[in-house]
Amino acid sequence: MRAIVLKEFQELRRDRRTLALLIAMPLLLLVIFGYAANFTVDHLTVAVYGPSTHDVVKLIDDNAKLKGHLNVVTTEVDGTKADAKTELQDGKANVAIYASAASGSGSSDAGTLNADVYIDGSNLFAAQSAKTIFAQVQQQLTQQAAQAQAKAEQAQAQQGQQSQQGQQSQEQSNSGGSQSQAQASSAQTPTLTVTTLFNPDLKTSWVMIPAIIGLILTFIGTIITSIGLVREREAGTLEQLAVMPLRASSVVLGKITPYFLLACIDMALITVLGLLLFGVPFNGDPAIFIVGAALFLFVVLGLGVLISSVSKTTGQAIQLAFMVLLPQILLSGMIFPLSAMAAGVRWIGYCLPLTWFTMVSQGVMIRGAGWDSLWFPLVILAGMAVIIFGLAVVRLSRSISPVKQKHGGGDVASRPADTDRASDAQPTEAA
């Protein structure tokens, strides 16, 4: 038994990748769950529109608790309700407020505030936090209005007691009472009409299905594709790839094309089933979704080829693929909201392709966003596709170059000429 234990330790010492995985994975999980596992969104971006915009901003600035949770990013006095909804559709804010002109005597304040609050339901946890915050705001404003009305009624009662001292004081009391009555009538209860857009019932499935589509594509592209070249190496057929008169880029395209087509079929099936079984809406342009999915597939398929080119065995390829897949599940915003993560972990999430595809899929399917608001994540995905595909081509060229040298060296494109020269030399030798 002692010999077996020593043998296993020696095997682990030789397999440095497995040893590194055993040590690094627990530390990685601890850091990720420690800094990213947070469902509470404490900071919300707010856009304010309408005639009473300045009163809403003043209300937020004067309340330390609100100021700590709400960050006003856009103010527009001449804005309309349509502008407020468009701000949410474009994903520029978590909450949009349209503050109409205050009723009463022409001066607007928190006590006479009438506002429509629109919440982006596609960001599930931010929407839940926003509903809680604005319910507290409504309660606070109602209490302030009730206190103001109670003070006005108390002043009116005091004036009524003084009216018993004489006719003159009675007349003064009547005038004071009418003034107090006016104050009481002016202390109207403020109105905040909260509406959740795009996902009124805050259904989790509506938010998760667009992200799960990307997760399944990541699984197909990264894990399954990464096994491809490793099997070629283990089966000894990598030499056939090396001697073929093809560039490395052509080999990579040839390897990923079947998986690309299969992933496209899976994407279509998953999307249709999500729409039919879970009632997930599809409010946007399908062309945007198709372009985003195609770019994302090139990224994850390139990752799979890149992993397979640096792995010597199938086990190593699967280990590396899971190490690539795990952060994308936890840090892409699919489970834990990006806005609730620590800044450093959030930037790691921005480096993951699933983060940007989730923005595209949720934007198209739930919010119905257009090209003008989704061009940036599409450009990021395109850049990632170019970089990762280029790295996969370079790495594959290095992987098969020793095999080329073993079978004659040089460029494979020159082999026909070498063959011709060899055939020409044979008659001479025979002579």
The predicted-structure confidence for 227-255, as pLDDT tens digits, reads as follows 877 887 777 776 676 667 777 777 778 87
The predicted-structure confidence for 381-393, as pLDDT tens digits, reads as follows 999 999 998 888 8
The predicted-structure confidence for 205-216, as pLDDT tens digits, reads as follows 999 999 999 998
Percent of the chain with pLDDT over 70: 80
Reported as a pLDDT band with limits 50, 70 and 90, residue 3 is confident
Say what the pLDDT of residue 163 is: 63
More confident residue, 163 or 83: 83
Q: What's the burial of 394, exposed, middle or buried (CB within 10 Å: 0-12/13-18/19+)?
A: middle
Say what the pLDDT of residue 370 is: 92
| DSSP secondary structure string for all residues of 72-131 | EEEEETT--HHHHHHHHHTTS-SEEEEEPPPPSSS---GGG-EEEEEEETTSHHHHHHHH
Say what the pLDDT of residue 344 is: 83
Highest mean pLDDT among 129-138, 238-247, 365-374: 365-374
CA 102 to each of CA 51, 54, 271, 366: distance values in angstroms, whole numbers, following the listed order: 8, 12, 46, 33
The predicted-structure confidence for 21-33, as pLDDT tens digits, reads as follows 777 778 877 877 7
Strand pairing class (44-49; 70-76): parallel
Say what the pLDDT of residue 160 is: 65
Helix, strand or coil, per DSSP, at residue 282 = coil
Say what the pLDDT of residue 112 is: 63
Q: What is the rounded average pLDDT of the residues 247-272?
A: 84
More confident residue, 323 or 208: 208
Here the tokens at position 100 are 């109409």
Q: In the predicted model, is pLDDT for residue 426 greater than 50? A: no
More confident residue, 97 or 40: 97
Reported as a pLDDT band with limits 50, 70 and 90, residue 106 is very low
Q: What is the rounded average pLDDT of the residues 407-426?
A: 45
Alpha carbon distance 193, 302 (integer Å): 48
Q: What is the rounded average pLDDT of the residues 297-326?
A: 85
In 332-414, which residue ranges form alpha helices assigned H by DSSP? 343-350, 353-362, 371-406
Say what the pLDDT of residue 316 is: 80
Highest mean pLDDT among 110-114, 227-231, 427-431: 227-231
Alpha carbon distance 252, 379 (integer Å): 22
Say what the pLDDT of residue 404 is: 57
Q: In the predicted model, is pLDDT for residue 407 greater than 80? A: no
DSSP letter for 164, please: G
Reported as a pLDDT band with limits 50, 70 and 90, residue 150 is confident
pTM, two decimals, is: 0.79
Spatial contact of 389 and 302, defined as CB atoms under 8 Å apart: yes
Task: Specify the range with the lowest mean pLDDT, choosing from 178-187, 218-227, 262-271.
Answer: 178-187
User: Euclidean distance between the first and final Cα of the chain, in Å?
Assistant: 69
Reported as a pLDDT band with limits 50, 70 and 90, residue 405 is low
